Structure 1
Amino acid sequence: MTQVLVIVLALLIGVIAGLRALTAPAVVAWGAFLGWINVDGKWSEWVAHPITVTVLTIFLLVELVTDQLPKTPSRKTAPQFATRLIMGAFAGAVIGSAFFHTFSATGAGIVGAVLGTLGGAAVRTKLYEANNGKDRPGAFIEDLVAVGGGFLIAFLVSLV
């Protein structure tokens, strides 16, 4: 049962990576730092280091700002999509490492990133249309879902 829950959480953190690529690694780093994700003595232990958490948090904040810019490329372009897959894989692997399920959680993170990327783009388009061509409200909603959902997922790891 534990393995199933770990895979589901890795899939969900992958969805977060699909919404905001750098949010997923930042929230798992915070989860590790706060002790929600047990990385002690595992390959992923470095993720909980304060320097790692600080750098990833800065990346998260920069991403939240750059996403608001009109010239930011679509998440579905090859470099953007690939980045989301890699970040979903990484964040899933960190969650999986807490339970010695790194490889299956990596795959789940990738699948989640695909779902988050495509689903997030579709929802964002609907919000854009519903707001008469204004993208900012949808972007803010997506930011809240990504950051809030990411932290919730990281916390839920501690309950497994």
Structure 2
Amino acid sequence: MFIIALAFLIGIVSGLRTMTAPAAVSWAARLGILPLQGTPLAFLGYAATPYIFTLLAIGELINDKLPKTPSRKVPPQFIARVISGAFAGAAVGAARQSLTFGLVAGAVGAVAGTLGGAAVRTKLGEVFGKDLPAALLEDAVAIILAIVVVTRLG
């Protein structure tokens, strides 16, 4: 049951920042924290994979601050977050022979993170009077939550 909660939480990370969760689980696999050998997601632990996902995550962190970046709630962005959450959740679940449950929990977490993150960021933007501080705070929450989740996997 604990592993499903972790899959849900990594899904929330995907809802906040699409590529942060795959980067985190890939680093966990590479560092031996997330045992994915013998699973369909073993490639997450390959030498280059964490670097690729990290570059994508950094690109997203930068892109998120640009004025023309569309809302996370429009279909392409929303779908990407759910797929990312399902993928990261599946990796968390696969380490404990619960790939399917992890996939579902990660997808549900991504929906919660997407909608909840958008609502909180809007409110914080109103409080701060501009969006950038709220966006940076959201970045920090996503990164910290990802670290907390992957350190609980071992």
**Normalising by structure 2, what TM-score?**
0.98
Aligned-CA RMSD value:
0.7
The 5 A counterparts of 1:103-142 are 103-132=100-129, 134-142=130-138
Provide the C-alpha distance between the structure 2 equivalents of 1:119 and 1:127, rounded to a whole number of angstroms.
Answer: 12
Percentage of pairs with the same residue: 47
The 5 A counterparts of 1:46-57 are 46-57=43-54
Moved over 2 A (4+): none
**1:131 partner letter:** F
Report the counterpart of residue 57 of structure 2 in structure 1. Answer: 60
Report the counterpart of residue 5 of structure 1 in structure 2. Answer: 2
Provide the C-alpha distance between the structure 2 equivalents of 1:128 and 1:32, rounded to a whole number of angstroms.
Answer: 35
CA shift for structure 1 position 41: 2.1
Report the counterpart of residue 43 of structure 1 in structure 2. Answer: 40
Q: Which of 92, 95, 105 is matched with 2:92 structurally? A: 95
Provide the C-alpha distance between the structure 2 equivalents of 1:65 and 1:50, rounded to a whole number of angstroms.
Answer: 25
Provide the C-alpha distance between the structure 1 equivalents of 2:24 and 2:122, rounded to a whole number of angstroms.
Answer: 26
> Structure 2: which 5+ residue stretches go unaligned?
none
CA shift for structure 1 position 50: 1.8
Query: Deviations for 1:19-51, whole angstroms, at most 9, x for unmatched residues?
Result: 000111010001111111111222211101121
Report the counterpart of residue 30 of structure 2 in structure 1. Answer: 33
Provide the C-alpha distance between the structure 2 equivalents of 1:33 and 1:51, rounded to a whole number of angstroms.
Answer: 9
**1:34 partner letter:** L
**Normalising by structure 1, what TM-score?**
0.94
1:157 aligns with 2:153: yes
